[in-house]
Amino acid sequence: MTAHRKLVAGNWKMNGLQAALSEVRAMVEGAASIPGVDLAICPPATLVNAVKAELGSSAIGLGGQDCHAEKSGAYTGDISAEMLADAGAGYVIVGHSERRAGHAETDAVVAAKASAAYRAGLIPIICVGESLEQRDRGETLAVIAAQLAGSVPDQAADRTTVIAYEPIWAIGTGRTPTTAQVAEVHQAMVETLSSRFGGAAKGIRLLYGGSVKPENAHELMHVEGVDGALVGGASLMAADFLRIAAACA
Ligand code: PEP
């Protein structure tokens, strides 16, 4: 299931005012000297248009952080996948643990959002990950398998799909799993997806996310089965984001 090119996607979460566009400019400049790695930035919705303008003809991709499952309608405050595509996005993160926990998103909701992404021509970055309690109880692989079964739509292998393994206890904490723990989960994901989709599963890129920093990126990005990173905090500054990308090259 290893892809030829790694993808490093930055999740800015609820961070970023107009002033942050200078970081995007620096990313565009720096990315030109890091060939062979796909990059994407997922800014808050308020900056999607402005980031698109800054990216210009750069190969850096653009994504939303969430979308509604419906195309349009009476859903105050929500954004559809079609709206993100219209604003220039090519990706959308769905099922981030902060949305699963803070907005009560079930696997079924996440699958509906991923399907909406396909409908709009976006690439979903579908997030899965266990809590520390689940890991301590030895439930990690079962939790990930259940999340994959419930959150990844049937059409995933026929469409371009990215899945991010993000242990909840590693997000924003500075803690990371060992390389052996990452390899174990990624290998299990490969097996789960292969038994469901057969050879077509090979096209699905599997990212690792959770406290990826310039200092640990090389080690984490060279774990067997890891096709890139979903990066939160370290994606806000161009210098850090670019060092992570360079670690993949
Ligand atoms: C994330 O929110 O997807 C994430 C991985 O965050 P951080 O890199 O800050 O742990």
- Check if the beta carbon of residue 207 is closer than 8 Å to that of residue 229: yes
In a domain, 164, yes or no: yes
In a domain, 41, yes or no: yes
Q: Is 210 in the pocket of ligand 1 (CB under 6 A)?
A: yes
Domain with 155 in it:
6-248
Q: How many domains does the chain have?
A: 1
In a domain, 232, yes or no: yes
In a domain, 1, yes or no: no
- For the question of residue 215 being annotated catalytic, the response is no
- pTM for this prediction: 0.97
Q: Is the pLDDT assigned to residue 2 strictly greater than 80?
A: no
| Bridge partner list, 202 | none
Query: Per residue in 34-52, pLDDT tens?
Result: 999 999 999 999 999 999 9
- For the question of residue 96 being annotated catalytic, the response is yes
In a domain, 193, yes or no: yes
CATH number of the CATH domain containing 73:
3.20.20.70
Q: Which of 141, 162, 40 is nearest to 94 (CA)?
A: 162
Give the pLDDT band of residue 249 (cuts 50, 70, 90).
confident
Q: Is 177 in the pocket of ligand 1 (CB under 6 A)?
A: no
Catalytic, out of 54, 96, 98, 130: 96
The strand ranges marked E within the chain are 6-11, 37-42, 61-64, 91-94, 123-128, 162-165, 205-209, 228-231
**Which atom in ligand 1 lies closest to the alpha carbon of residue 229?**
5
Q: For a pocket test of ligand 1, which of 41, 163, 212, 243 has the largest count of ligand atoms closer than 8 A to its C-beta?
A: 212
Query: Per residue in 54-111, pLDDT tens?
Result: 999 999 999 999 999 999 999 999 999 999 999 999 999 999 999 999 999 999 999 9
